Structure formats: structure tokens, C-alpha cells
Amino acid sequence: MSPRTVVIGVDSSTQSTKAAFVDAESGRLLAVGRAPHVVSGTAGARESDPEGWWQALRDAVAAGLAESGASASAVTGIAIAGQQHGLVALDRSGRPVRPAMLWNDTRSAPQAAGLTEALGGPDAWTARTGSVPVAAVTASKWRWLRENEPDNAAATAAVRLPHDFLTERLAGTAATDPGDASGTGWYSTATGAYDPELLELLGLDAALLPEVARTGATRVGSLTAEAAEALGLPTTTAVAVGTGDNMSAAVGLGLGGSGLLDHPVLSLGTSGTVFAASRTRPASPALSGFAAADGTYLPLACTLNCTLAVDKVAALLGLDRDDTSPGGEAVLLPYLDGERTPDLPTASGLLTGLRHDTTPQQLLGAAYEGAVVTVLRALDELLRACGLDPADPEVAARPLRLIGGGAQGRTWVETVRRLSGRPVIVPGGGEPVAMGAAALAAAAATGADPVAAATGWRTGDDAQLPPLERDSATWERIGSVLDRASGPLLGGF
């Protein structure tokens, strides 16, 4: 019997690092090492020290190795899936010039608007990059840095995304992939390369950027001696080029590009995200038309406020997160960090419909409902962009695949079921982002197709929940508030 080989899939997210140790043959999850990140900032700023991500990666790998019982010599591959869009500016020695500006940093909203206008409007951006600049996009953050911290911009010798930064620390090679690159605002999904005209508009030298790996290439190198010593792993460990967290989740779920995904994915985390795999390059200013890790496309819509915002409401009310009831007449839009979809970066939370008999449990329920309706409306736009009518009974009956931390929460699951009216599938394996990264790591080590590897690993123990009758009254009540809402209304509440 051949000795077991192990691969490591790393999910480096906004709040923490998870290192999944996976049996490369069976896909069995052996252990998950975890380490927290520190996020700082007020008044729209959200920053982290990239060196903290590197330390968290070391800690998570050490914890996972100890818990798994695997020998370090059995590890054959490692891949990073990172939070998208973050701006990592490095000096000539490869050290951060300043803390990384994260995806949910909204300070660059004016720069995003200026960039949109400078190129001729949303349609011009969609035609090139598949996405319109918003505060989340890296290009907006680079423009902000040049305008507000010119000395730091001038000192920048390399610009990286979070996953690029960690991959380069592992392999010593500057590389990125089409999936994560498609969220920068300077990569064209139309041409599959950096866009020279956009780089000129941004004042960004292409020499500062990592090379984009060709589609299908998964291996960027092996662990450097320094990285191998830091992680306690062999230098023979293959390093995958990695990707963004959403693209990695698609791999982990075994999503390919045989057409629009029958089961759209709804991810409930710090952000609320909906995406689907498609061979069609979508073009809608309301979406992020990302590339996928396997050469197809990953149309995606993202909201800023999801589990973290609702947990904050629960804390303010002094309630357990599942001590809820439906919101009744109350509508609570928990836009505590501004909002990305709809594009309201200066918004704050909005509460309306309050009555004498409104209970704290209803207020918390209303926060769940506001977050869920916001992301489900984004799903409808995604379906329309891919040529489907959300009101078509056949389309409306397609199951939602629910992932993220919220997928483990009873109230989140039941609120999605009640407001979507769809069947819901909760993957039983857990950690789709890390498992997708593990599949990329296995591909780097063996040359196999990562989506095929992830598909072969699936254990079939997903929970499939039947649809509930859709709560149309709540949907329409919240939708009416959203339709009437404007920047001044939400921004000034």
C-alpha cells in the first residue's frame, strides 16, 4: 500500500486563515488549522498588515499539521485562496509600504466614480473588464493611494493582491491567476491580459504587477528554503498559483463551465455573495464579471453587509444570534459598512416600520431579512445577466447551494429558504474555499485537473432541504424600501 499523500488548501480570508489538510487521494479532510487576522480602521477604512497574514499562515499550518497527525514529509502541495481586491503595496525588499487596504475599505468610492467617468461610463468598463469600478476594486484603491499618500505610492515597487503576496512568500515567484486578477480593474476579461490603456489611466506601471499564469497552469514552483523552514514542510512541496476565495469556492464545489450552473451559489460570510459558473462572458454593470479558475467565467454579485452586520445587531439588542422571529412590519437594512450592491458606499443602517409592539426578536429577524433580500435581489440580476428570467418557474425552482459561515446557522438557512422559495443545498463537507485550494494544490503536485479532482472528492452527504412557500409580503415590503432608497436617504440615516 502506497503511503498517504497530503495537500494543504489555505483560505486566507478577511478575518482569519484556515489551512485544510486533505488526503490527496480520497479528499478526506484530515484537519483544519486556524489563526485569526487583525482588521483595523474606522470611518470606512479597513486595513490589515500583510505580515500578519504570513504569521497566521504559519500558525494555521502548524496547528493543522499537529491535529492531522500527518508527517510533514507527506505534504506534496499547497495553494492559497485569498480575499479578493485587497491592495498590497510592497517596497523593493518585498515588505509592505503600508497596511493593505481590504476589499471592504470604502474610502476610494470617489476614485471609483472618477474612474468610471474617465473611461466613458459603466458600459465601457464592463466591455473591457467585465466589472464597473466600485470602492472594493483594487484599481480604485490604487488611485486613492496615489491621490492621498503619494509618498507611499512612489515608494511602491510591487503591487500584489492578498493571495499573490502569500504565494510569492511561498515560492519566491511573482504570479497571479486570471480569476483573482479579474477583480483588480486593470485586467481585461475580454483579452485575458492586463489592459495597457487602463494601466495608463491608473498611472500604474505593468512592471509592478505579477505575471498572470496561463489558463490551466496551476504550479508556480516549490517552497523556497526559507518558506519551507518557516512552515516546517519539505522544499519539494509544490506551490500552486492559487486564486481568489470565490473562484476557489467554485473549484471546491466542483463547478465547471458546461453552461449556467443549475445550482447558483449563495455564500453567507462577512459579505454576502452569489455566483454561478458560466461559459458565457456576462456583461452587466450591476455584476462583477470575473474569470473563473478553470478558464470559464464566474459572474458574481457581492454585498458588504452579511453575517458580521447581523451579529452586530444581535449584540446591540443583547440577543443570541438565533433568538429571532420574522420582522413583522419592521424593515432593517443593516448597511453598517456602506453597501456595494446596491452601490451605496456612504450608506448607514436604515430602520423603518417600527411599532409599539415590535419586539427585539423581530428587529433581529428584520436584520436577517434585510441582508438576505439584498443578496437575493443581486442573484436575480445575475440570472438576468446570464440570459435567464428569475420569474420563470423552472429557473425559480433551481436549488441554491448555500456556503459560508452563515450556512451553519439555523436562522440564516431558514431565512434564505423563506425568502427565496427555493430548495437549498448545504454542502456537507464544509470549507469549500479551502477545499478548492486543496484541489489546486493537488493539481500543482500531479498535473491533474483541479475541478475534476474536487468533483472526485465529493462524498455526497449534502443536506438537501425542500422549498418553503415564498414569503412574498416580506420580500415586497423590503424591496419597496430598497427601491425608494437613495444615497442621501441611506447615507444620512
Q: What is the distance, to the nearest Å, from the Cα of residue 401 to the centroid of all Cα atoms in its chain?
A: 15
Reported as a pLDDT band with limits 50, 70 and 90, residue 286 is confident
- Dist CA 133 CA 366 (whole Å): 30
- Dist CA 317 CA 311 (whole Å): 10
Stretch 191-201: mean pLDDT:
96
Contact of 326 with 466, CB cutoff 8 Å: no
Q: Give yes or no for residue 459 having a pLDDT over 80.
A: no
Stretch 54-69: mean pLDDT:
97
Contact of 221 with 239, CB cutoff 8 Å: yes
Stretch 251-277: mean pLDDT:
79
Q: Residue 84, annotated ligand binder?
A: yes
288 φ/ψ angles, rounded to the nearest 5 degrees: -100, 115
Tell me: the pLDDT tens digits for 141-152? Answer: 999 999 999 999
- Dist CA 37 CA 56 (whole Å): 7
Question: One fold for both 6-247+439-443 and 255-426+462-493?
Answer: yes
Q: Residue 263, annotated ligand binder?
A: no
Report the pLDDT value the prediction gives residue 461, as an integer from 0 to 100.
63
Q: Tell me the pairing of strands 6-12 and 238-240.
A: unpaired
In the chain, what is the straight-line distance between the N-terminal and C-terminal CA atoms, in Å?
66
Share of the chain above pLDDT 70, in %: 95
E-strand ranges in 37-170 read 47-48, 75-82, 88-90, 100-101, 158-160
Closest of 450, 399, 451 to residue 427, by C-alpha: 399
Report the pLDDT value the prediction gives residue 332, as an integer from 0 to 100.
97
How many CB atoms are located within 10 Å of the residue 393 CB? 7
Continuous segment of H or E residues that includes residue 273: strand 272-275
Stretch 246-272: mean pLDDT:
79
- Please classify residue 114 by burial: count the beta carbons closer than 10 Å to its beta carbon, then call 0-12 exposed, 13-18 middle and 19+ buried: middle
Reported as a pLDDT band with limits 50, 70 and 90, residue 361 is very high
Reported as a pLDDT band with limits 50, 70 and 90, residue 113 is very high
Report the pLDDT value the prediction gives residue 277, as an integer from 0 to 100.
85
Q: Where is pLDDT greater, at 215 or 372?
A: 372
Report the pLDDT value the prediction gives residue 3, as an integer from 0 to 100.
61
* Mean per-residue pLDDT over the chain, rounded: 92
Cα separations (Å) of 419 from 142, 193, 371?
38, 40, 11
- Dist CA 204 CA 190 (whole Å): 20
Q: Does domain 6-247+439-443 have CATH number 3.30.420.40?
A: yes
DSSP annotation of 152? H
325 φ/ψ angles, rounded to the nearest 5 degrees: -145, 160
Q: Give yes or no for residue 337 having a pLDDT over 90.
A: no
Q: Which residues, at least 6 apart from 488, have a Cβ–Cβ distance to it below 8 Å?
A: none
Cα separations (Å) of 128 from 118, 191, 195, 255, 369?
14, 8, 8, 25, 35
DSSP annotation of 280? S
The domain defined by 255-426+462-493 folds into Nucleotidyltransferase; domain 5 (3.30.420)
Reported as a pLDDT band with limits 50, 70 and 90, residue 489 is very low
Active-site pick, 11, 23, 164, 245: 245
Reported as a pLDDT band with limits 50, 70 and 90, residue 343 is confident
Reported as a pLDDT band with limits 50, 70 and 90, residue 1 is very low
Closest of 374, 324, 326, 319 to residue 350, by C-alpha: 374
Q: Give the residue extent of every domain in the chain.
A: 6-247+439-443, 255-426+462-493
Give the residues across from 188 on adjacent strands.
Answer: 193
175 φ/ψ angles, rounded to the nearest 5 degrees: -150, 150
Report the pLDDT value the prediction gives residue 357, as an integer from 0 to 100.
96
Tell me: the pLDDT tens digits for 93-111? Answer: 999 999 999 999 999 999 9
Q: Which residues, at least 6 apart from 210, have a Cβ–Cβ distance to it below 8 Å?
A: 158, 160, 164, 168, 174, 175, 176
pTM of the model: 0.86
For residue 360, is the peptide bond before it cis, meaning its omega torsion is within 30 degrees of 0?
Answer: no
Stretch 214-219: mean pLDDT:
80
Closest of 289, 291, 283 to residue 301, by C-alpha: 289
Q: How is 211-226 classified by DSSP, letter by letter?
A: EEPPTT--EEEE--HH
Report the pLDDT value the prediction gives residue 2, as an integer from 0 to 100.
47
Reported as a pLDDT band with limits 50, 70 and 90, residue 460 is low
169-203 burial, b if ≥16 CB within 10 A, otherwise e? bbbbebbbbbbbbbbbbbbbbeeeebbeebbebbe
Report the pLDDT value the prediction gives residue 94, as an integer from 0 to 100.
95
232: left (phi over 0), alpha (psi -120 to 50) or beta: left
**245 is annotated as an active-site residue:** yes
Cα separations (Å) of 18 from 15, 99, 271, 437?
10, 21, 17, 11
Give the residues across from 302 on adjacent strands.
Answer: 273
